[in-house]
Amino acid sequence: MTVSPEASAPNLELLQRTSAAMRESLGSVVRGQDEIIGQLVCALISGGHVLLEGVPGVAKTLLARSLAMVSGLTFKRVQFTSDLLPADITGTRIFLPREGVFKFVPGPVFTDVLLADEINRTPPKTQAALLEAMEERRVTIEGEEHTLSDAFFVVATQNPVEYEGTYPLPEAETDRFMMKLVLGYPHQDAELTMLKQHDSGFNPRTLSAETLPPLLTLETLMALQQAVRAVRIEEGVLKYLHELAIATRQSPAVLLGASPRAAVSLMNAAKGQAFLDNRDFVLPDDIKHMALPVLRHRLLLRPEAEMEGVTAEAIIEDIIATTEVPR
């Protein structure tokens, strides 16, 4: 399925076909992760950032790079390490002796899609360099504000099993990610298809615009995000979403529940899911579908609950099961 980028503002039908084409194109490169791909595209068109968690080798980096390619956006990658400094991300000012002036040298944050690889391997001071960028799409350096791309989109990765030398993300950081997506192993048929694909010559390191052509322009992405914002959510459905957020704060197993920002993120993600399903209104099922990726990383459990094996996912699923759905 191919969709040509449009220079002018596309109509709604073309936007929906474009988003479907993006998912199809990504699925041809990253096999067996269709749900994750759909949620990643949903975050992009909803204007949110994504935290990807998975063991090494499940295509986290490939997925982020492929998304940038099919969306026609600029892409930069930062490998987060223990010696990384904030200026290595945001940029710095250097003195030019010949001109006798300071010049600002932009860091990798000045891009459309930023891959923050293994974000939990750098200290909190460096992690915090992304706070302003993720929330306000700007960075302040020595009192001077620098505006980022309107499409600025962070995909951060972390390894769930190797904790030596890592720094857990602070709550203020995790709350700025619209979704946390957990990549598992692909199912057997998909993995076998992937092996055959590699055997026939596919090489993810040599992906190009020829093998993964861009389907968007920056203008088209802005139109997509505007179309998502225009999706309607009725008052009864909005109250249902609000009740879910409040329930996470009242759970006896939870020390810190979903913030108001989390509720806004859930609303925007539900709108994105409705748009991907070719609807201009949100259903309770959209909220249910997005509750787990939007809320799972925002719940801070009480130590005694963690010792008993309680998980954030189980709490969210229980809240969904026990909260009355509007009719």
pLDDT, one tens digit per residue, over 82-109 is: 999 999 999 988 888 888 888 889 999 9
Q: Residue 255: what residue type?
A: L
Pick from 251, 253, 248, 273: nearest CA to 263 = 248
pLDDT at 195: 93
Structure tokens at 23: 């998912």
CB-facing half-sphere around the CA of 3: CA atoms within 13 A = 25
Residue 62 contacts residue 29 (beta carbons within 8 Å): yes
Q: Is the pLDDT confidence value at 78 over 90? A: yes
Q: Is the torsion defined by CA of 38, 260, 122, 73 positive or negative?
A: positive
**Model confidence at 12, in pLDDT bands (50, 70, 90)?**
confident
Structure tokens at 54: 């998975």
**Model confidence at 205, in pLDDT bands (50, 70, 90)?**
confident
> Average pLDDT of the chain?
90
Instruction: State the Cα–Cα distance between residues 315 and 291, nearest whole angstrom.
Output: 11
Structure tokens at 12: 């709604």
Which domains does the chain show, CATH number per domain? 29-229 (3.40.50.300), 231-327 (1.10.8.80)
| pLDDT tens digits, one per residue of 229-266 | 999 999 999 999 999 999 999 999 999 999 999 999 99
pLDDT at 8: 40
Residues 192-204 have a mean pLDDT of 89
Could you please report the per-residue DSSP string of 9-56? PPPHHHHHHHHHHHHHHHHTTSTT-HHHHHHHHHHHHHT--EEEEE-T
Instruction: State the Cα–Cα distance between residues 228 and 281, nearest whole angstrom.
Output: 10
Say which range, 66-75, 162-171, 245-254, has the weakest mean pLDDT.
162-171
pLDDT at 165: 67
| pLDDT tens digits, one per residue of 113-166 | 999 999 999 988 898 889 999 999 999 888 889 999 999 999 999 988 766 667
Task: Name the percent of the chain lying above pLDDT 70.
Answer: 95
Conformational region of residue 142, where left means phi above 0, alpha means psi within -120 to 50, and beta covers everything else? left
Instruction: State the Cα–Cα distance between residues 290 and 275, nearest whole angstrom.
Output: 13
**Model confidence at 5, in pLDDT bands (50, 70, 90)?**
very low
DSSP, collapsed to helix, strand or coil, labels residue 107 as coil
